[in-house]
Amino acid sequence: MKSYPITIKPFGERAILVEWPNQVEESILADILDFMDAFKELGLPGWEMSVAYNSLTMVCNQEHLDFETIKKLVLDCHSRQAASKTKRIQYLWRIPVCYDLEFGIDLEEASQTLKLSPDELIQEHTAHQYVVYGIGFLPGFMYLGGLPTGLEIPRRAEPRLQVAKGSVGLAGKQTGVYPQDSPGGWNIIGNCPVELFNPKAEEPCFVKVGDKIQFQKISRAEYDLHKIEGEVGIYKPEKTVLNA
């Protein structure tokens, strides 16, 4: 596994920012995740880390940091991580989406802009696996990479004040699911009946950074069924192990 050069910057009194080369690449993400595993193995209390594309924000909740000390620790850890390999399990999650026009309020307009039929757009959107490069912005919001260029479409000129929970959108190089009602400027092409963030669940967010997502077209009847399954707590998202 390739190891990349990193830079480390102070980020206020309790955090540092570790940055990898400024690109969206699976091999960079893998290097970040390897580093996180190696750092966790050190067993230092009070640290929390969050990944976004090529960077890792590391926050220490316990005490104020001595930047030079932690910088050295991070560099040592990064240079040694090749040796300490905890095997991560990564999953491919199949996320059901109903693309009916009732939910996909921008599907027709987006199809026209992209010079596709709505069916072709749906087919293209469901044909690819998207890498989860980060979770943030809203609880359970996934930053997905790997959208085919044929689906790249500008944000809407005016954001909507309210986009419905579960809405699946396209914007620039991104696609994703709004995990809750939220203002937003993405082009909405469908709705996902699955709770991507559930604070009552043992794992509030079942998807992890480094996993992959593939959207699956479902009918309105299946949508309703999954909704009910979710409400009574028996919905199990379909997953396959990627790196067994």
CB neighbour list of residue 55: distance below 8 Å, 6 or more residues apart: 17, 18, 19, 20, 32
CA 204, 90, 178, 18 dihedral sign is: positive
- Per CB under 8 A, contacts with other proteins among 173-192 are 179-180
CA distance 135 to 28: 16
* Contact with other proteins (CB under 8 A) among 35, 39, 53, 186: 53
Look at phi and psi of residue 234 and say left if phi exceeds 0, alpha if psi is from -120 to 50, else beta: alpha
* Contact with other proteins (CB under 8 A) among 50, 113, 126, 214: 50
93 part of the interface to other proteins, by CB under 8 A? no
* Residue with smaller CB distance to other proteins, 113 or 180: 180
Closest CA to 49 of 58, 62, 60: 58
Closest CA to 164 of 227, 236, 239: 227
Smallest separation (angstroms) from other proteins to the CB of 198: 9
139 part of the interface to other proteins, by CB under 8 A? yes
Burial of 85 (0-12, 13-18, 19+ CB in 10 A): exposed
* Residue with smaller CB distance to other proteins, 58 or 107: 58
Smallest separation (angstroms) from other proteins to the CB of 66: 14
147 part of the interface to other proteins, by CB under 8 A? no
143 part of the interface to other proteins, by CB under 8 A? yes
Are 207 and 213 spatial neighbours (Cβ–Cβ below 8 Å)? Answer: yes
168 part of the interface to other proteins, by CB under 8 A? no
Smallest separation (angstroms) from other proteins to the CB of 34: 16
Question: Contact residues for other proteins (CB under 8 A)?
Answer: 9-15, 17, 19, 22, 24, 48-57, 59, 61, 134-141, 143, 179-180, 197, 199-200, 204-205, 209
